[in-house]
Each structure stands twice: as structure tokens, then as C-alpha cells.
Structure 1
Amino acid sequence: MSFLPITSSFTAIFALALVALSVPVTLRRVKVGDLIGDSPDAVLRLRIRAQGNFIEYVPLGVIGLGLVEAHAAATWLVLSIGGVLAGGRLLHAVGMWRESAPLRGFGMLLTYAALVVAAGVLLMLSRA
């Protein structure tokens, strides 16, 4: 059985980040009385999308990261992919909360870069 210390650490960080994105959604839902689904409240909608976007990208990123690490890729490469993914998710969330298109966009570019690099590494390693 493989132990994936880098992926495990990033997964813990991402779990805490998801809670940090989820609690404000819950608090806003209670405040505005929209406990299920979407809402006409603009602040709640932004919080829901920040949380949703995180949930849409992080699971596949963590799976890719874990597979790269399981293939015994260089430590610097695994750390780089995880760091770029984490940085991208952080910038995107801050951009959503501050309604900053440049931050959101740069966050998405970093997220895409992490996914593409992980995919490329996995394709190369799976042929070896």
C-alpha cells in the first residue's frame, strides 16, 4: 500500500479550505432565509459559486496529484503541481469574494495549468 505524504498534506489543506468556503455559505443562507438551492441574494450566489467552483476542480486535481505521486515522480514536481493548484484555488476564491475578474481569471489559469501538467505527467509515466 502506498503512502502519499504530499497528496495527503494537500488533501488536508483542501479539506480545511472547503470548510472555510462552506461556513460563509451556511451563515448567509440562514441570514437571508434561503436554505436550499440558489438565491436572489447576490452575496449568497457569489459564495455558492466560489464553493461550487472549488468542489468542481479540486477532486480531480487531488486525484491527479495522488497518481503523479504514486508513480514516484520527483518530489519537486508533485509539490509544484499541488502548490499551483492550491494557489489557483485561493486566487479564484478571493477573486469571487472581491468580485475581481483578474484574480478569478488568474486563479483559473493556475488551476488549468496544474491539471494539464498532472495529465501530461500521467500520460508520459503511463507509457513508460
Structure 2
Amino acid sequence: MLPITSTTAALAAVALVVLSITVSLHRKKVGVRIGYGEDIALMRRIRAQGNFIEYVPLALILLALAEYRQASAAMLWTIAGLLVVGRCLHIAGILTGRTPLSAPGMVGTYGALLAGAAALMFG
């Protein structure tokens, strides 16, 4: 059941583990247990992880509900694709400090949320 959501959620779980490990390892490296101290790289890692956690759960809920309600496969893959590509771009932009990556990443994420909402409201 819900194969598109399941695949997307599995990818998100792996991405979150990777983001979390990078935060933990960098915390150990710089000796900062809480917050980010003065370490900009740690701050970027924390924000990439935090931003991921802020957006992905709702997008997955919308995707699951749309799939449960039998939205078209094209709509479901559009939501999933926008989410995955958007999050990857945003993570790359946050970690490198490059707005040309993070800005389209947020647009993709917003697109996934709006497409998911549209699938539920009008589908």
C-alpha cells in the first residue's frame, strides 16, 4: 500500500539519518554539545537538519493522503519529485552557503506542499 509515499518516506529517513550523523560528528569534532557555539559549519548542519524536519513530515502526510485517495500517479510523482529534489537542493545550498541552490530548493519544497494540498482539495 502507498508505494510512492513509502519510497519517498524511505528516502527521507535515510536523508535525515545522514543529516543527523553529520551534526553529531561535527559537534564531537568541535566540542560543542548544545547550540553551535561560534562554528558556522555546525550552524549550517543544524539548520539543514532542522529545516528538513520542519517541512518533510507535512509533505509526506499530504503525499500519503493523496495516494490513499488515489490521486493520479503523475500527481503523486510530481509531489514526491518536487520534495526530494527540493530538499536535496536546499540541503546543498544551506551546507555550502549558496543561495542559488537553496532558493530553488525551497521553491521545490513549496511546490510539493502546494501540489499536495491541491491534490487533496481538487483531486
Taking structure 2 as the reference length, the TM-score comes to: 0.96
Give SS of 1:65's match.
Answer: helix
Equivalent in the alignment of 1:101: 99
State the one-letter code of the partner of 1:14: A
Residue 98 of structure 1: how far off its partner (Å): 1.3
Residue 39 of structure 1: how far off its partner (Å): 2.4
Residue 106 of structure 1: how far off its partner (Å): 0.5
Which structure 1 residue ranges, 5 or more long, are not aligned?
none
Residue 66 of structure 1: how far off its partner (Å): 0.3
Give me the identity figure in percent: 48
Give SS of 2:63's match.
Answer: helix
Give, in whole Å, the separation in 1 of the partners of 2:115 and 2:4. 17
Equivalent in the alignment of 1:77: 75
Give, in whole Å, the separation in 1 of the partners of 2:110 and 2:37. 29
Equivalent in the alignment of 1:35: 33
Give, in whole Å, the separation in 1 of the partners of 2:105 and 2:10. 20
Residue 24 (str. 1) matches residue 22 (str. 2): yes
Equivalent in the alignment of 1:52: 50
Q: Which runs of 4+ in 1 moved over 6 A?
A: none
Of 2, 5, 13, the residue aligned with 1:4 is 2
Give, in whole Å, the separation in 1 of the partners of 2:7 and 2:60. 11
Residue 38 of structure 1: how far off its partner (Å): 3.5
Taking structure 1 as the reference length, the TM-score comes to: 0.92
Which structure 2 residue ranges, 5 or more long, are not aligned?
none
Residue 97 of structure 1: how far off its partner (Å): 1.3
Of 68, 73, 87, the residue aligned with 1:89 is 87
Residue 40 of structure 1: how far off its partner (Å): 1.7
State the one-letter code of the partner of 2:19: L
Give, in whole Å, the separation in 2 of the partners of 1:122 and 1:39. 43
Give SS of 1:83's match.
Answer: helix
Residue 7 of structure 1: how far off its partner (Å): 0.2
Aligned-pair RMSD on alpha carbons? 0.9
The C-alpha deviation readout for 1:66-125, integer Å capped at 9, x for no partner, is 001001011111011101110000000001111101110000001001101111111113
